[in-house]
Amino acid sequence: MVIFFECPLCADIGCGAILGKITKTDSGYKWSDFAYYKGWHEEEPELELYKDVGPFEFSAAAYEQTIKQAEQGDLF
């Protein structure tokens, strides 16, 4: 799982974070299996909170172009 969103003040997962899975597919990328995680002491992320969110699918070309733009600081 990867962190999609974390505390905007301190970036500590202990404040809470939205996690998810990124999968490379034949046609692009898929974001799925979103979960909420709070604190280092919980063993498993809370899956029920976001069970109805996604999955989201993106074409490979658009996704990779957006990642490159973000790396270069060209998104905003």
What pLDDT, on the 0 to 100 scale, is given for residue 59? 96
What pLDDT, on the 0 to 100 scale, is given for residue 22? 96
Q: Is 73 exposed, middle or buried (0-12, 13-18, 19+ CB in 10 A)?
A: exposed
Domain count for the chain: 1
Q: Among 20-24, 39-43, 71-75, which stretch is predicted with the lowest mean pLDDT? A: 39-43
Distances in Å between the alpha carbon of 56 and those of 30, 40, 76?
6, 27, 22
Domain that holds residue 15: 2-72
Residue 9, classed as helix, strand or coil, is: coil
pTM over 0.75: yes
Structure tokens at 37: 């995680």
40: Cβ contacts below 8 Å, ≥ 6 apart: 13, 14
Higher pLDDT, 38 or 54: 54
